[in-house]
Every structure is written in structure tokens, then in C-alpha cells.
Structure 1
């Protein structure tokens, strides 16, 4: 009886904790409400299964408890029960996976009008690159990284000259415009995550991953690294600032001095040396 009661209390406590939990999501600020809907659906399915299994276990513990004169019936197989359990499990798993597949298809299908930006992670800061007046990012290569070229831009690519470089600062974005963020890592695996945007993705050394989203609410949102990347991992923070289009354009004009062309060291003058 005590074991059955404990199992029932576990169910009641788990449901109550979920209902009054202080760790609810932050208000969403992007187009990825589909992710919230998928997670909530998964909670309902797994929560229902959890409650049903634990309560059934409590019932069995109480109903088939030891009693003098009673003996358990040996039944190693029950094909009918196994068929029911297999079918119910398959339906439950399919119900959890199917919505996720639809959302994943949307997650990897970038709108044609999305603007490319670049997010670079390194121990332990975030750096950003935005397209300049031409609206396109120039080529980059990790092998080109140096003290005067921290993001490894290709100096021979004319599209890179007006790219806006921001090291360890804020990432400003206009509201209502889809953005495709190209993700690179300089050293180890990082993970770009903004809770309000719901979108997150790993940054893996040697490859370029991406994530896209459309900001739907103005404000400042904290960037977190969601992958353990060393002793400074908890301090690897940044900020996404979502602005109205007019404010964003004004901010972008002030960043012209941060373009790659302005940050490149000026070529040294050549002085003729007489023979």
C-alpha cells in the first residue's frame, strides 16, 4: 500500500510542478512558434503516457499484492497484449515525430528574400558580420584569420570591402525581415542560442552551418552559448537588438567606419632605394 501511494504522489507532484513551475519560456520574438507548438504537443503525449504508466503500476502493486493462499499465474507470453502495446507505442512515437518533421522542413528552408549575415564564435565571445551597401557578404576563409583580419575575410573579394564587422558587440537586426545567419567557429564547438527567438544551431569548426528566423518584436535579447566550450563558457554572452527599419538604417550608417575596407591596414608607401 505504501509503494502504491508513493507512486500516486509522484504523479500528482509531477503534474503540479509542471503547472506551477517558474521556469516557463520567455515570450517568443520570432516566427518559430511552431517549435513551441511541437514541444507542447510532445509534453502532452509523454505526460499522458507517464501518468498512465505510473498509475497503472500503482494499481498493479496494490491489486496484485501478496496475500496468503494466492499464487501468481505463469504467463510468459501474451500476443494480444503485445500487439496492442506495439500499436499504441507506434502511434505515440509517430504523433511526436510527425510535427517535428514538418517544422524541421520549414527550419531548413530559407526564404529567398532572407538577408545573409555571419555569426562567428570563439572562446569566449561572439563576432558578427553584416552586408554593406551592396547587400552581399564577401568570401571568407578560416585560413585567412590574422591579427588585422580576425574573421578571415578574403581581401581579394570586392564584395567584402563594405562588410560591417562587429567584434564582441551587439548584433542589430531590423524587425520583420527574414535573416539567414551563417555560423562559423574559430576554435571549438559553440552553439548560437537566443531563447526568445527559439532558433538555435551548433557552430562546428571547419564547416559553415546556418539558421534562419524573422524577428517579430523589438527589444534587446541575450545571446547564449548552449554548448560547453571551456572554462569561460558561462560568460560567452552577446546581445541581439531588434529595431524598427528606420532606426536600424540609422545605426547601420554609423557603422560604416567598421567596414572591412576601413579596418584594413593602409598599404605602406614604397620608397625607392638608390643603387
Structure 2
């Protein structure tokens, strides 16, 4: 009886801890409340199964404990029980998968009015690229990546000349505007993760992955790397600052375009060469 009660207390305590735990999600800052709902559904299903299994173990410990003269019955097969377990398991797994598949479909179905932005991860910093006044981002080639061209833009693409390049800085976004986040990595696997956004995706070298979101409240949010990427993984930090549209455009006007970055680098290189002489 004591063992059975301990098992039940462990089961009930575990479920209550997850319900009333102070370590819960940060307040959401994008449209992805669907992610929270899906996680809650998963918690309820797995919590129910966890409690049912522990309760069954407690029942067995109490009901079939050792007694003088009692003998165990050998029952190698029970088709009725096997069918019930198979059907119940299939329903439980389906109930967990279905919401995730629905949310995933929404996650990769980008609205037509979303603005493209680019995030570049490398050991151990974040860089960003935003479209310029033409509203389009230029094309890139990994072979072009260098200290002078951190995002690898093609110099002969006119759409890339006014692209805003932010190397190892903070990303600003306007509140209420949908963005498609294009993700690239220079070296190893990274993962762009902002806990308040509930949106994250692996960044795979040689690939462009993406997700989309709509920021719904202003604020400053930490950018983390959620994929172990080397010795300074924990220090790979940045900020996303979501602000009103007027403040965003005022900030954008002060940023450096790719053309300006190229001219500055050319001047610095010429100055260095002349100084060397």
C-alpha cells in the first residue's frame, strides 16, 4: 500500500508541478500563439498517459502483491489487451501529431505581403540584411563572402546595392508587419532563436531555410543560438528590437547600404596602400 501511494503521489505531483511551475514560457511577441497551444495539447496528452501508466503500476503493486499461497498466472498472450493498447497508442500519437502538422503548414505558408529579411549565422556572431528602398534584396553567392562583403552579395546585381547590411549588430523590425526570415550559415549548424517569437529554424551551410512571423508587440528581445556550434556558442547573442513603424524607418535611414559599405572599404583599402608606400 505504501509503495502504491508513493507512486500515485509522484504521478500527481509531477503533473501539478508542470501546471503550476513558475518556469514557464516568456510572454509571446508574435502571431505564433498556435505554437503555445500545440505544446499545451502535447503536455495534456503526455501528462494523461504518464499518470495512467503510473496509476496502473500502483494498482498492480497493490492488487498483485505477494501473499502466502498466491501463485502467479502465466498469460503470454492477450489479444484483446493488445488491440486496445494498439488503438489507444495510435489515437494518442495521432492527437499529438495532428496539431503540429497544422501549425507546420501555417509556419511555412508565407503571406504575400511579407517582407524578406536575411539572417546570417557564423562562429560566433549574427549579421542581418534588409531590403533597401527598392523593396527587393539582391542575390548572393557564398564565394563572394569576405570581410568586405560579409553577406556575399553579387556586386553586379542592381537590387543589392541599396540592401542594408548589419554586421554583428542588432536587428530592428516594425511592429505589426509580416516578415519572411531567410536563414543562412557561413560555417557550421546554427539556429536562430528568439524565445518570445516562438519561431526557430536550423541554419544549414549551403542551404537557405526560412520561417515567417508578425511581431505583435514592441520591445527588445534576445537572439540566441539554439544549436551547439562551438566553444563560444553561449556567447553568440544579439538583439531584435521591435518598434513602431516611424521609429523603425528613422533607424533604417541611418543604416549603411551595401553600396556605401563597398565605397568605404575601397577608400580604406586605398588609404592603407598609400600609407604603406
What 5-or-longer segments of structure 1 have no aligned partner? 269-275
- Give the match for residue 63 of structure 2: 63
Q: Any idea what the Cα deviations from partners look like across 1:147-185, whole Å, max 9, x if unmatched?
A: 211111110101110000101111000111110011000
* TM-score in terms of structure 2 length: 0.93
Q: Equivalent residues in 2 for 1:1-275 (5 A)?
A: 1-255=1-255, 258-264=256-262, 265-266=265-266
Q: Tell me how far apart the structure 2 counterparts of residues 215 and 196 of structure 1 sit (CA, whole Å).
A: 10
Q: Tell me how far apart the structure 1 counterparts of residues 28 and 199 of structure 2 sit (CA, whole Å).
A: 10
Q: Tell me how far apart the structure 2 counterparts of residues 80 and 15 of structure 1 sit (CA, whole Å).
A: 30
Q: C-alpha root-mean-square deviation of aligned residues, in Å?
A: 1.2
After TM superposition, the runs of 4+ consecutive aligned structure 1 residues lying more than 4 A away are: none
Q: Any idea what the Cα deviations from partners look like across 1:111-136, whole Å, max 9, x if unmatched?
A: 11110000000011100000000011
Secondary structure at 1:166 match in 2? strand
Q: Tell me how far apart the structure 2 counterparts of residues 147 and 109 of structure 1 sit (CA, whole Å).
A: 34
Q: How many residues align?
A: 266
Looking at secondary structure, tell me which structure has more helix per residue: 2
Secondary structure at 1:181 match in 2? strand
- Give the match for residue 274 of structure 2: none
Secondary structure at 1:196 match in 2? helix
Secondary structure at 1:39 match in 2? helix
What 5-or-longer segments of structure 2 have no aligned partner? 271-277
Q: Tell me how far apart the structure 1 counterparts of residues 5 and 266 of structure 2 sit (CA, whole Å).
A: 77
